[in-house]
Chain A
Amino acid sequence: MNITDSIGVFTDGFSATNVLYGFWNILLVFLKYTWWLWVFFIVWKFMMGAFFYWRREAYRKKIRWVVLELVIPRLIEKSPRLMDQFFQALHALRNDADHLDEKYIDGETTQRYSVEMASFEGQVHFYMRIPAKQRDMIEAAFLSYYPDVELIEIEDYMKKLPQNITDADRKDLDIWVTEFYLDKSPCLPIKTYIQFENMDEQHQFDPMSTFLEVMARVKKGEYMGMQIVLQPLHRSWNYRCEPIVEELREPKYSNQKQGVGDFQFQPMMMKSPGETDDLKTIEQNLSKPIFVTIPRVIYLAPKLNFYDGLARRGLKGAFNQYSSKDMNYFKDNVKVSTKPGFWDFPYVFPEMRRRIRKQRLLQYYIGRAFGSADDIGEFIYLSHWLNLQLHTKPVEISTEAVASLFHPPSNLVLTAPHTARSESRKVGPSAGLPIYGEEDAINKFYPKKDK
């Protein structure tokens, strides 16, 4: 085999056709000699995608979960700053594969937590779903900041909901679900509790009150829920934003030159107070640990009086509280939400596409799933021929923003009509009280360890 034979330019003279043939033949020869290498890389990608999906899902399936209800007291005179601290403590529980066997045999991945609000016919509850193994640590962290809030283990309330779209049909329920995403670069923070706080009592505001008010409007037989699935990201994520901070730090120069002849120069411009503030906010945001999250909201109602306007516009409005014009804001991810019509790509079977999207997001909601498509395995497994898994957009926000999105409502919120509260104050026994009985007798008062 002689390479030069197949290259038209050298044998048959220089013309446009020969050049084209020449390139084509060079490509063919190149592929002839290396095709197995490219096949190797492509098949490797698919194979490892499938392998990791299999192992990781097996790992996730083994985790035992606990759903805790946050029973809030009559009055919490505490700012969301404490919840920020709690989420920082939660971030420290991040796990990841450390060794080959953990990565390939156990399939260990970062565990996901979920903080939730649910409204059953207007009665709003707060929940948290955590792995049973980490329950003690998370309870300790939470109760040290909110000693008055009771954490009660309950049976998973998702079992009360229809488990799939057929169940919902049989109960004559219609579903609306959507996810929210950040419209701009995740390095830019949303408005957080720090902006809502004010020394002046009249100007204080708690964004949770909007969520509570919207959710309390749910009528009989209806259900509304919000969940934020949280996955702690590695600390090294914050360094990805360095170029943006660098750009903001760079001094700006005026376009008009000053001076004469060789002494011409561009004068440096002062940064406006707004720009300085922005830089400060961004750096403050990046100084905190980051969670990758999916905020998801759901509305279930009988088909007869199904009106998703309350959920769609109300909750969108609640999320809109966190938007600031020059920073970042949440947007409703219409490409995954359950209202596609014939005007949306691919223009056929709108009813079936609506059904599959409802089914998909209901499954995700019940399983607190992420549904992202970071690698090819997830994309293939989670796609349906009418609804490819392409449009999920995980949101990277700092603990500060997560705490603003979800925290026990402070004393600024009117909770009495909407939630079931614990009416009395809880105080532990004082230290050093005499305990009568054997040492072993104390053990039964400790929470049961899972085996």
Chain B
Amino acid sequence: MKIKAKMKNPPKWPDLFQIERNIIRIFVGGLLLYFFSHVFIAFVYNFFGGQGFSAIALKGFLADIDKVWRFHIGGFFIVLDITMFVLMFVFFKMGWKYRPQLKIYPPPSDLGKQVKVKPKTDPAIFEHWKNIVAKANTGTQENMKSAVIEADALLDNHLKNLGFEGEHLAERLSKLNPKSFKTLEPVWKAHKLRNDIVHTPGSKITARQAQNSLLAYRNFFKETRAF
């Protein structure tokens, strides 16, 4: 179906409140009154002020109107323009915080919420670590197991000191961002091994497994600058 007629445009004037319309009327009316009263005064002053209707009187009359229009009314508007120009920037500044986040690379929404790790060197950890390594070096099954368990507990304690909340180590580790820690992945494996040791009765680990998991813990301690 083809329709030629166009929609009516809504009139702007009725959108304004009565009081706004009156303000506009008074503003425009006042300006016009000011201008035409000055025109009248200039007319009387120039033409009935002794000169009569002559070219000189006309010139003076035009000059007076020119002055009223350009300097009185124009000056008023120029002051208004400058004020409004300043206000415009003020309003833009006030409204800017309500603007949606229009960025090509916006910051992630959980930026402030992520726990930041402050590197903290603790000599006690290193002392403890030496004991663990010495224990693991004996090579017996029991000692290797307890070394891994102790290293895990040490890491748990360390993370607790750094301010990570959670029920157990896995919960604390999951709060770390895997992208910012290179050595986090092996620690997870080591932690799984430790869980196997603790929860499976009669489980055995090889020397290689113990070495790998201890290395993982050591690298993580080094990355977090515990020693």
Residues on A with beta carbons closer than 8 Å to the beta carbon of B53: none
Encoded as 1 (CB less than 8 Å from any A CB) or 0, chain B from 98 to 137 comes to 1111111111111000000000000000000000000000
- Beta-carbon contact of B100 and A367 below 8 Å: yes
Q: Which of B3, B8, B107: most chain A Cβ within 10 A?
A: B3
Q: Tell me the total A-B contact number using a CB cutoff of 8 A.
A: 129
- Beta-carbon contact of B106 and A165 below 8 Å: yes
- CB neighbors of B among A144-171 (8 A): 162-167, 170
Q: How far is the CA of A61 from the CA of B95 in the complex (A)?
A: 12
* A231 CB to nearest chain B CB (Å): 16
In the complex, whether A369 has a CB less than 8 A from a CB of chain B is: yes
Closest B-chain residue to A50, C-beta based?
B91
Encoded as 1 (CB less than 8 Å from any A CB) or 0, chain B from 120 to 158 comes to 000000000000000000000000000000000000000
In the complex, whether B4 has a CB less than 8 A from a CB of chain A is: yes
Q: How many residues of A contact B (CB 8 A)?
A: 62
- Beta-carbon contact of B10 and A240 below 8 Å: yes
- Beta-carbon contact of A243 and B8 below 8 Å: yes
- Beta-carbon contact of B105 and A166 below 8 Å: yes
Residues on B with beta carbons closer than 8 Å to the beta carbon of A387: 102
- Beta-carbon contact of B108 and A170 below 8 Å: yes
- Beta-carbon contact of A166 and B77 below 8 Å: no
| Prevailing SS type, chain A contact patch | helix
In the complex, whether B85 has a CB less than 8 A from a CB of chain A is: yes
Residues on A with beta carbons closer than 8 Å to the beta carbon of B81: 36, 39-40, 43
* B28 CB to nearest chain A CB (Å): 12
Encoded as 1 (CB less than 8 Å from any B CB) or 0, chain A from 348 to 374 comes to 000010011001100110010100000
- Beta-carbon contact of A363 and B101 below 8 Å: yes
Known pairs A47-B84, A47-B91, A54-B98; A164 contacts B108 (CB<8 A): yes
- Beta-carbon contact of B7 and A244 below 8 Å: yes
Q: How far is the CA of A59 from the CA of B127 in the complex (A)?
A: 61
- Beta-carbon contact of A382 and B8 below 8 Å: no
Closest B-chain residue to A187, C-beta based?
B7
- Beta-carbon contact of A359 and B104 below 8 Å: yes
- Beta-carbon contact of A185 and B7 below 8 Å: yes
- CB neighbors of A among B40-86 (8 A): 66, 69-70, 74, 77-78, 80-81, 84-85
Q: How far is the CA of A69 from the CA of B1 in the complex (A)?
A: 40
- CB neighbors of B among A264-317 (8 A): 278
* A78 CB to nearest chain B CB (Å): 32
Closest A-chain residue to B102, C-beta based?
A384
Known pairs A40-B80, A43-B81; A327 contacts B1 (CB<8 A): yes
Residues on B with beta carbons closer than 8 Å to the beta carbon of A247: 3-5
- Beta-carbon contact of A100 and B84 below 8 Å: no
Q: How far is the CA of A246 from the CA of B32 in the complex (A)?
A: 41
Residues on A with beta carbons closer than 8 Å to the beta carbon of B4: 247
In the complex, whether A58 has a CB less than 8 A from a CB of chain B is: yes
* B56 CB to nearest chain A CB (Å): 14
Candidates B1, B6, B95, B108; contact of A243 at CB < 8 Å: B6
Closest A-chain residue to B106, C-beta based?
A164
Residues on A with beta carbons closer than 8 Å to the beta carbon of B207: none
Q: How far is the CA of A103 from the CA of B103 in the complex (A)?
A: 31
Encoded as 1 (CB less than 8 Å from any A CB) or 0, chain B from 186 to 221 comes to 000000000000000000000000000000000000
- Beta-carbon contact of A242 and B101 below 8 Å: no
Residues on A with beta carbons closer than 8 Å to the beta carbon of B105: 166, 355
Candidates B17, B95, B100; contact of A364 at CB < 8 Å: B100
Q: List 9 A-B contacts (CB under 8 A).
A: A33-B69, A36-B77, A39-B77, A51-B87, A54-B98, A241-B7, A363-B100, A381-B99, A386-B104
Given contacts A47-B84, A50-B92, A167-B110, 5 further A-B contacts (CB under 8 A): A51-B95, A162-B109, A163-B109, A188-B3, A381-B98
Residues of A whose CB lies within 8 Å of any CB of B are 1, 33, 36-37, 39-40, 43-44, 46-47, 50-51, 53-54, 57-58, 61, 99-100, 103, 162-167, 170, 185-188, 236-237, 239-244, 246-248, 278, 326-327, 352, 355-356, 359-360, 363-364, 367, 369, 377, 380-384, 386-387
Lowest 10 A-B CB distances belong to which pairs?
A54-B95, A57-B98, A163-B109, A50-B91, A36-B77, A243-B5, A326-B1, A47-B88, A247-B5, A363-B100
